Structures are given as C-alpha cells and as structure tokens.
Amino acid sequence: MDEAAESVNKMSWGTQLWDQYENISSQTNKGIEFLEKYCSFIQDRLAIEKEYATKLRRLAKNYQPKKREEEDNEFSSCQAFRNVLKEVNDLAGQREVVAESLEQRIVQGIQVLSRALREERKRCLNEGTSLQQTLTAQLGALDRAKRNYEKAFRESEKAVENHKKADMDLNLSRAEVERYKNIMTSKIQQSDDAKNEYANQLQKTNNLQRQHYSVALPTVFNRLQELDEKRTGGIREFIIGTAEVESAVAPIIARCMEGIVKAGESINEKEDSFKVIERYQSGFTPPTDIPFDDLSKQNPDSPMDSRVLSSHFTVKGTISKGVKRRPAIFSFFGSNKVSVYVCL
C-alpha cells in the first residue's frame, strides 16, 4: 500500500471503523438529528422575526392618524410622523422578508437534505445488515460442514478401530470381518467427502469474509461517512445562508433609517407655525382708540346705537380675506366677556 492510499485509509470509516456498525449507525443518526435541530432553531428564529414584524406593523397601524385628526396633516411634523410610520412598516416588511427567506431557503433546504440523508442512511444500514446476514449464513454452513466432518472423521476412526478389532478376533467369520472392512471403507469415504465439503465451505467462507471485510462492508461504511460529511457540509452552507438572508436586508433597513432621517429633516417649525396663522387668522385688526363721546356737542337726533354699529362696521370693513371661523372678537378670554363698543 503506498503512502497516499494509506493516508486515505486512515480517514476512511470503511477501513478504520469496520467493527463499529452500531456506533456508525448512532453517530449518523445523531448527525441528522443535529441538522434537524438547526432546522428547528431556524424555525423558532423565523417565528420570532414574524412576531417582531407583526408587532411593528401593528405599532405603525395604531399610530396612524385618525380621520378626525386629518386636518393636522398639513403640518410638516405630522407629515414627517406619517412618513416615519411608513418606514416602520417597511422595516416590518424587511423582517418578514427575513422570515420568508429563512423558511424557503434554510428550513425547506434542510428538510429536503435531511429526508435524502435519512433515506440513504436507511439503505446503507439495510445493506450492511444484509451483508452481515450473508456472512453469518456462510459461517453457519461452514460450522455445519466442520461438525459433519468431525462426526464423520470420528466415525471413520471408530470403524477403523472396529475393523482392526474384528480382524484380530479369530472367532469371527471371514464374512463378518469383510462386513467391518466394508463399513470402514464406507466411513472413510464418508469422512473424506465431509472433509472435502468442509474444505469447500471453508474456501467459500474465506472468500466471502475477505470480500466482506475488504470491499463490501467498507463500501457501505464509506457511503455512511460520505452522507455524514454531506450533512456536515450542509450545516456549513445553511449557517452561511442564514447570515446571508439577514445581511441581504441590511441595505434596505439602512434606507428605511435614511427615510426616517429625511422625514425628520423635512420638519419646518417656521412653516408649521405659519400654517397655524393661515388656519386661524380672522383678518380683523385690533381695536383702535375709542373715540371721545362729547354729549354737549352731539346731534341729539342721531341715536347712540347707530353710531356704535357704524363704528363696528368700520372694523369689519378691514377684513381682507376669507375667514374660516369668526369667534366673537372680544370673547376670547374665557367668560370675561366685554362688549367695548356696545357700552360706549
């Protein structure tokens, strides 16, 4: 055996673990269980992602402005908040993408692999059992052939002994001695036949045993090693894939963060406070000086009420633009209502 082949042999289950069927069987099973444990880990992980996404979506929905607040949407701060909610919703969407990708790429991938590995493992173990049963049957046949040979040999020895005794016994007839001779010949023949059969079975057994331990069983065990390595390599790919799935959404999440910053930056407090003016200004000008009412100089025909009204209308006449609401001009300090003009 050259060095390279020896080094391969040192790494080969078929060569090194030829008598470890049960350990190989349990090791490969534990290996597939470990792969499936990683799968269930990812399933639990993606359930957490899904729940996280659901809660983010619900959060964004709960804070969506109500219909009755819609008039406030003209403010840049409200628009910004709505954009923030949109980004949080997008963020939730990205966590859902992670969950879905983990499901499709990792969980389903592992399920396909582990099913294939379980089937291949079962085939190998069945094959190993069948090989061993064949060898056991052959060893049984050898055992029977050997026992037959031992029995026949002992009987032939006995027959030789009996013939020797009869030959020396002068009281026995020639026919009688001839009978012992015939028996002896027959038993020796039988012993030789049994010995031949034993030799045949031994050759068959050794051939089979050599084939079993040098080719058949190592082939099966190497296939089990191969599937175990495929399983280990699979875990490597699935672990890397898991990180890739999550890393893939990082740039989009970064864009969501940029979106939130942009939403924040779009807030303009000067604009918003001007919008308050646009919404509420009445267009009235503040009261001007109250005129002096010199009773000694007034025309007694002009009643006071009409003067008050005309002065009031003058104020109204300064309204320069449409007014949404027109509260009583002087009733804006709680219940301290004053009617300045009326009392003049």
Q: Draw the binding track, 316-335, toward its own copies (x: CB under 8 A; -: no contact).
A: ---------x-x-xx-xxx-
Residue 344 has which token pair? 């003049």
Q: Least Å distance between CB 179 and its own copies?
A: 24
Residue 117 within binding range of its own copies, rule CB under 8 A: no
3-state class percentages of the chain: helix first, strand second, coil last, to nearest 5: 80, 0, 20
Residue 269 within binding range of its own copies, rule CB under 8 A: yes
Q: Least Å distance between CB 73 and its own copies?
A: 11
- Number of other CB atoms surrounding residue 80 within 10 Å: 18
Residue 303 within binding range of its own copies, rule CB under 8 A: no
Backbone angles phi, psi at 125, to 5 degrees: -65, -40
Evaluated on CA atoms 43, 48, 53, 54, the torsion sign reads positive
Residue 38 contacts residue 235 (beta carbons within 8 Å): yes
Which alpha helices (H) appear in 102-216, and where do they start and end?
108-168, 174-211
Tell which positions 118-147 bind its own copies, by CB under 8 A.
Answer: 128-129, 132-133, 135-136, 139-140, 142-143, 146
Question: How big is the CA angle at 175 (ends 174 and 179), to the nearest 5 degrees?
Answer: 115
Q: In terms of CB distance, is 18 or 179 closer to its own copies?
A: 18
Among 36, 72, 90, 127, binds its own copies (CB under 8 A): 72
Looking at 81-89, 99-107, 116-124, 159-167, which segment touches its own copies (CB under 8 A)? Answer: 81-89
Residue 79 within binding range of its own copies, rule CB under 8 A: no
Residue 107 carries which DSSP code? I
Looking at 100-108, 162-170, 174-182, 193-201, which segment touches its own copies (CB under 8 A)? Answer: 193-201
Q: Which amino acid is at 184?
A: M
Residue 191 contacts residue 153 (beta carbons within 8 Å): yes
Residue 237 within binding range of its own copies, rule CB under 8 A: yes
Helix orientation angle between 76-101 and 217-265, rounded to the nearest 10 degrees: 180
Q: Least Å distance between CB 165 and its own copies?
A: 19
Q: In terms of CB distance, is 6 or 244 closer to its own copies?
A: 244
Q: Least Å distance between CB 5 and its own copies?
A: 16
Residue 296 within binding range of its own copies, rule CB under 8 A: yes
Q: In terms of CB distance, is 176 or 210 closer to its own copies?
A: 210
- C-alpha closest to that of 117 among 198, 21, 31, 53: 31
Number of residues located near its own copies, criterion CB under 8 A: 124
Among 29, 45, 109, 219, binds its own copies (CB under 8 A): 45
Q: Draw the binding track, 153-192, toward its own copies (x: CB under 8 A; -: no contact).
A: x---------------------------------------
Q: In terms of CB distance, is 63 or 164 closer to its own copies?
A: 63
From residue 294, give the alpha-carbon distance in Å to each of 117, 302, 308, 311.
Answer: 112, 13, 14, 16
Residue 313 within binding range of its own copies, rule CB under 8 A: no
Residue 75 carries which DSSP code? S
Residue 262 contacts by C-beta under 8 Å, 6 or more apart in sequence? 83
Q: Least Å distance between CB 181 and its own copies?
A: 19
Q: In terms of CB distance, is 1 or 277 closer to its own copies?
A: 277
